[in-house]
Structures are given as C-alpha cells and as structure tokens.
Structure 1
Amino acid sequence: MTAENEREIYHKLEAMKEIRNKTITLERLKRSILTEVRSGDAEGRCLAQYKREMELLQQEKMSHVEELRQIHADINAMETVIKQTEESMSRKLSAASRLHEDYRPLKAEVDLLRRQCLGLERLPELHEEEGSPVTPDRFPSLSASAPRPVSFLAPAPGPVRKPPPPPPAFRSALDPDFLTVSLRQQPPPMKSCLSCHQQIHRNAPICPLCKAKSRSRNPKKPKKK
C-alpha cells in the first residue's frame, strides 16, 4: 500500500470520527429541541387555562363591584328613608304635643262640670283608654306643668237668692238634664281644613291629617279708625 493510499484512508477515518461526533451532538440537539417544544406547548396550554381563569376572576370581580354599587345605592336610599321617617315622626309627635296642650285644659273643664253639676266620674285619661298608644310618660312636661282646673261654682257658701224660674221655652245651661243632653249629643266645635277639607277641631293650630296651618275662612276685619 502506497503512502498516498494510507493518507486517504487516514483522512476518511478522521472524517468518519468527526461525522460520528457531530451526529451524536445533532441527536442531542434534536432531542433537546423536541423536549423544549413539548414543554412550550404544555406551558401554552397552561397559559390558555390561566388566561381563562383570569377572565372568570375579572367577571366575578365586576359582578361583585356591581353588587357593592347596588348595596351602596340601597344604603343611601335607606338613609334617606330613615331621615324622612325621623322628620315625619318628629313632626307628628310635635303636633300631638300641641294638640295635647289644648286637650288637657278642656278635659279638666269637662271633668269638673261632670263632677260638680252631674256628680259623674271623670273621663278616662288617654293612657287609660283600652288600646291607646299613649303612655303616662308620653307628655311628661305637659303633665308636670298642666294648669289646675278652676272651679266654676261660688267658693264660699252663703245665703243665695234663688233666681226667678226661666221661661218655659228656655233651659239653664247649668240644668243637669240640659248638660247631659249637651254632653251626649253636641259634637265638639269643628271646622273644615282648607287644604284637605277634613273636619278638625276649631281651635287646632294645624291640621292633624295634612299638617297644614289652620286659617279661618272669615278672618276678622280690622276696625276702621
């Protein structure tokens, strides 16, 4: 074998060795590429699931935001209703107190007339009536400062000249029969509210139904100088 043939065989062996080493490296690179691609695809599928979960969380967040907004709106509306109800309650209780100021002296007079003229017991108090929402301490200030009834009879006994009898067609206002009929048949003095047209007490400063100020239909005319 010549030297030229030996060199050719040596070059072929070196080339085969190099090809073998590079082929092994190529296979390793190929396996690495396939592994990374498979891992990337798996991460991509996970990423799609994560994004879907994020969308669901965002939707849930928006639904809770809407719920919170509605709750805040309901709270604001309820606060308004509570404030209006408190104001209405205050107005009604104030009106009841003002009406009670007119009621107590009038009841005291009626009780006095019933006791002195007819020998009857007093009328029950508001809190003594069955089913009444009024309690004894409902008007404490009025109860403490209520005026005492004034006697309409002569304070000192003594010889009193008997008045002449009235005409047959006239009956004394102090006649027991006349008082009994009057107390049973005559309604309290009433007037019509100019706002709601309901019948209210003549001396009521405001209408207990519509809370409008009471005005007289025929106000007194100023006297001419």
Structure 2
Amino acid sequence: MYLVKTPWWLKKLYPQLIWNAEPGNRSIFLTFDDGPIPIVTPFVLNILKKYDARATFFCIGDNVRKHPDIFEEVKQAGHTIGNHTYNHLRGWNTDDQVYLQNYLKANELLDTPLFRPPYGRIKRSQVKLLQQARPDIQIIMWDVLSGDFDMSLKREEALNNVTKNAGDGSIVLFHDSIKAFHKMEYALPLVLEHFTGLGFTFKAL
C-alpha cells in the first residue's frame, strides 16, 4: 500500500521534511533512487540529455563503490547527487546509531546535504540525529510516486501516476534500479515529452 500523490495532511505532519520544491517557475523535479546501476542509470542519463533535463539521483553508497564510473557520469552530466544510505536501510526497523553510521559511511563517498530515506521510512529520532551530524542536511521526500517499483503495476499506470498528478514544483520519484527498469524505461521518456509539450522544464534540486 502506498500513496501516489502525497496528501497535504502528511506534509503537515512532517514539516521538517521537504515534499515539494518552490512553485512558480513551471518546473518539475525528477528524482531517481537506488543507483548507480549499469545499463539502467546510463539509460536515464541519455533520456534526460535528449530533453535537456536535470534531475537528482539519490545514490546508495555501496552501488557508488561498485560503479564509480557511472557515478562520475551522473555528476559530469550536471545532475545533483543525494544520499540514500550505504545499504538501503529501512529506518523504522533500524537502530538509530546504526542508521546514522550507515548514512555517514555513504556520505564519505557522496558528500551532499541532500538525503532521502529508503522507503520513505525514517523515525523522528533519526531525523534529529542526522540534523546534528550535518546541520545543512535537507531530507527530501516526494510529491508524486511513479510506482515503477511495483511489480503488480502496469507500465501505463506508472506513466499515468506521474502525468495525472505532477505539476509545478512537484518532486517526482522514479528508480534507476533493475526492478523498476521495465516500467521506468517506458514511462520516463513519455513523462518528459508530455510535460515539455506543456511548457515545463525539468530541474535538479
């Protein structure tokens, strides 16, 4: 069970987390979780380049260790980097100090103030620890979830999740992972084409 469009009341419950970017510029903020991964991440980079789009990649530290060349490609293409922990930890099921150390281990490779908790699961106590460890941290959530990770979802539905719910200032979540690739490779180019036709630009956080 997940919400495609993050409701206003959830955003109000966690005001210390960032759910949207500032509206007013007809901009959409695409984000990609779980990379860098061979084949998948380079595909994303090529599609973004075609539309002169910038995005934010929330990288898993261990994947950066395994694929430093792809990580370098992401940076060289002008995209923004975010921390997604070193081992994709689920915060609700993880000891606070273990979570903090895993974040710090990833940040040795990533060195970024942007952070997204895997699965969107993070305790208030973990938020506080991360803020103490890095005072300039920005914990980025999302406004629209593509659902590309959902094995029961049709790829057309992943596309509609974004085109029907995203708008000015939306932070949209895709995944550059093997699991999500089938749906993401279908939906992403069509999302870029759709919103470009409506006069939107795609920016990095």
* Bucket of the pairwise TM-score, normalised by the shorter protein: under 0.3
Report the TM-score, using the length of structure 1 for normalisation: 0.21
Q: Looking at CA atoms only, which structure, 1 or 2, has the larger radius of gyration? A: 1
Normalized per residue, which structure has more strand?
2
**Higher RCO structure (Cα 8 Å, ≥6 apart):** 2
Report the TM-score, using the length of structure 2 for normalisation: 0.22
Normalized per residue, which structure has more helix?
1
